[in-house]
Each structure stands twice: as C-alpha cells, then as structure tokens.
Structure 1
C-alpha cells in the first residue's frame, strides 16, 4: 500500500461558524482570522494505492459552481486535484474508487464535472465506483432545512444516474472492520448523519482521516465544535471517543481542512487529549 496527499484547493470560512460557541479571542490563536473574520481552510484529500485499487478519499469543492457561489468562499492558492494527481504520476481516469466521507459540497463537489458543452454532468472519475452509505444518502437527498445549502443536487444525483453509486453497510458497532475497500470505518453522526471516517493500517502506522469530526488542529479540545454540526452534543461524545483511541494507539491524523497542518498525533494529558506533534504528510506517507 502507498498513500499520497492530494491538494484539491484552499478556501476560507467564517471563523465563528467554524468554532461555534468558542470565543474568537481563543480560537484566533490557532486559526488566525483576517479582517473579515475568515480563516484559512484546506481541502486535502487522501489517495490510497492498494494493489489494483486506487482509492480517493473525498473530492474537494470542484470547479463547476458559479462565480457567485465561489465568491462566498474566497478561493486561494493554485491547487487542483488534476495537478496534484499528476505530481504523483496519476490521472483522474486511474481512480478505481471514490470514498466520500459525506456529501457536503466541499467534500463531494469535485466528484462531478460539467460535460463538454455544459448541458449536463459527467463523473470526474469515469472509471471509479463512488462509495457512501444508504443512511447518509437518504439524509442528503432529502435534506433538512439547516443542511440544504450544503447538499447540492448537481454534486450528488449525477453519481446515482451514472450507475456508479455504491453503498457501504453500517454495522451495529462504531467500527466496520475491513470494509469492501480494505480499511476500517468510524461512523459519526454529530456533524451530519453517518459521516464515515477511514482508519488505515499503513506499514507500522495507523492513519485516520477524521474529515469534519476534527477539521483542524484548533478543534482538538472537546468543546470546540463547529456551528455547522447538526448534533453538537453528539459530536462531543464522538470526538471524545475518537481522540481517546487516537491518543491511546498513537494514530496519525491526516487533517483534510487544516490548510497549514497536514498530519498530527495527539496525547492524553491532565486537561484531556491534546496535540502531541505536527508532521508533514511527505514525512509520514513514505
């Protein structure tokens, strides 16, 4: 197995929304805001090369939305999936599987592109199976008012219409041992219904991709929960359980939304689980 960090593009979000009830004077120390109260956000994906399979975890925001839409998110930098794949010797057509942690637009937008004449949509990874779970699919395609703006039809329905949509079953326990894609999955319901967090055995390491359960280094303390979460109290319990496992077992946490910190480890302290070390992805994914 080989792992690669894929940078799909950076953007900005309101710091207050990203930290919920936590005061700015606190979160601004780890995630400094600009004059508009916006903080840097990444869209870092994980690419898994395992035998004949090339699995992409999440797809970023994509590029098919309107200029007005992107104007809300202040895109910055020059990253793209295509350029990042090429850097590692791959092409979008090489991807065999796309594993979607959840279907919010900043995680699934890059899964679907405009067709050539912009009259319809086509899968960005034409040879890939797309994986979600049935509970989350129903949640996303029949959205509540709170999340409706995050579940965009053009990002989701074309996958189903193409025949590439596949479901992963949720077990009775929190971890699905050896899913169809060869790794464990931690299911978390606080941010959105049935978010899936992959946990991989990689050489002598365990690497987890916590997605929106732990978006940045600044979100490690338990009360630091995003205002976007649908069930913040449930996020508290899920994050406590996840971080305890990560600290006890020295997991490497591959952060998707932290624009400046790629991989971290955490440790148990008298104040709870806290940051241990920050690593470059290139030093861990070797």
Structure 2
C-alpha cells in the first residue's frame, strides 16, 4: 500500500464560525486570523494505492462554482486536485474509488465538473465508484434548513445520476468493520448525520482521516467545537471518545483542514487529550 497527500486547494473560513462559542482570545493562539477574521484552511485529501485500486478520500471544493461563490472563501496557494494527482503520476481517470466522508461542498465539490458544453454536470472521475452511506445521502438530498447551503445539488445529484454511487453499510455501533474499501470506518453524527472517518491500516499503524471531527490542532480541547456542527453536544462526546481511543491505541491523525499541521499524535494530560507529535506527510508515508 502507498499513500499520497492530495492538495485540493486552500481557502479561508471565519475563525468565529470555526470555533463556535470559544472566545477569539483563546482560538487565535493556534489559528491566527487575518484582518477579516479569516483563518487558513486546507483541503488535504488522501489517495490510497492498494493493489489495483486507487481510492481518493474527499475531493475539495472543485472549480465549477462562480467567482462570487469562491469570493466568500478567499482561495490561496497554487494547489489543485488534478495537479496534485499529476505530481504523483496519476490522472483522474485512474481513480477507482472516491470515498466521501460527507457531502458538504468543501469535501465533495471536486467530484463533479461541468460537461464540455457547460449544459450540465458530469463526474470528474469517470471510472470510479463513489462511496457514501444511505443515511447521510438522504440527509444531504433532503437537507435541513441549517445545512442547506452546504449541500449543493450540483455536487450531489450528478453522482447518483451517473450510476456510479455506492453505499457502505451502517454499523450497529460507531465503527463499521471490514468495509468494502478494506478499511474500518468510524461514524460520527455531531457535525452532520453519519459523517464517516476512515481508519486505515498502514504499515502496522492506524491512520485516521479526521475530516470535520477534528478540523485542526486548535480543535483538540473538547469544548472547541465548530459553529457549523448541527449537534455540538454530540460532537463533544464523539470527539472525547475518539481522542481517547486515538491515545490508547496509538493512532495517527491525518488533518484534512489544518493548513499547517498535517499528521499528529495525541496524548493524555491533566487538561485532557492534547497534541503529542506532528509529522509531515512525506516523512510519514516514506
């Protein structure tokens, strides 16, 4: 198995929204804001090369939205999904599976593009199966008023219309064992219903792709919960349970949204679970 970090494009989000009720005087220590109160955010996806399968976890925002739309998110840097794949010798047509942790636009937008005539949409990855789960798919296609702006139909419906949509199972507890993608999945419901956190066995180590359960290092303290989460008290409990498992089982945490910290480990302290070590992806994967 080989792993590759895929940079799908950096952007910025409001620091207050990213940290909910936590005062700026606290969160700006780890996530400094600019003059507009915006903090750096990454869209760091993960490519798994395993035998004849190439599995891409999440896809970033993509590039099909309007300039007005992107103006809200202050894109920065030179990363694109396609150029990052090309860096490692891959093309979108090579991807066999696209695993979507959830269907918010910054996680799935890069899966769908305009067709050549710009009359409709088509999958970027024409040879891939796209993985969601039935509960989250229903949640996203019949969105609540809180999340409606994050579930964009042009990102979601073309996946099903293509005939390439597949669903994982739903676990009886919180972890789905031995999924069809050969990694376990931790299910979390606080951010959005049935968000999926892959747990990948890599060279005898467990690498957890954290998606929005732990967006950045700054979100390690339990009360540091995003204002975007639909059920923040549930996030607090899920994060506590997950981080305790991560310490006790020596998991490595791949941070999708932290622009400056890529992979971390955590430890128990008197204040709760906190940062232990940080790793660059190129060091961890080599």
Q: TM-score range by the shorter chain?
A: over 0.9
Consecutive aligned runs of 4 or more in structure 1 exceeding 2 Å deviation:
none
Q: 1:147, 1:29 → 2: CA distance?
A: 29
Say what the alpha-carbon RMSD is for the aligned residues. 0.5
Q: 1:285, 1:185 → 2: CA distance?
A: 21
Aligned to 2:179: 179
Q: How many residues align?
A: 286
Q: Structure 2-normalised TM-score?
A: 0.99
Aligned to 2:13: 13
Q: 2:205, 2:168 → 1: CA distance?
A: 25
Deviations 1:199-246 (A, max 9, x none): 011002110001000000100000000000000000000000110011
Aligned to 2:48: 48
Q: 1:18, 1:30 → 2: CA distance?
A: 12
| Secondary structure class of the residue paired with 1:212 | coil
Aligned pairs for 1:1-286 within 5 A: 1-286=1-286
* Residue segments in structure 1 that go unaligned for 5+ positions in a row: none
Q: 1:143, 1:98 → 2: CA distance?
A: 22
Deviations 1:251-272 (A, max 9, x none): 1100000011111000011111
| Secondary structure class of the residue paired with 1:144 | coil
Q: 2:137, 2:121 → 1: CA distance?
A: 19
| Secondary structure class of the residue paired with 2:149 | helix
Q: Structure 1-normalised TM-score?
A: 0.99
* Residue segments in structure 2 that go unaligned for 5+ positions in a row: none
Deviations 1:172-213 (A, max 9, x none): 011111100000000000000000000011002110001000
Q: 1:16, 1:247 → 2: CA distance?
A: 28
Deviations 1:109-131 (A, max 9, x none): 00000001111111000000000
| Secondary structure class of the residue paired with 2:264 | strand
Q: 1:86, 1:154 → 2: CA distance?
A: 25
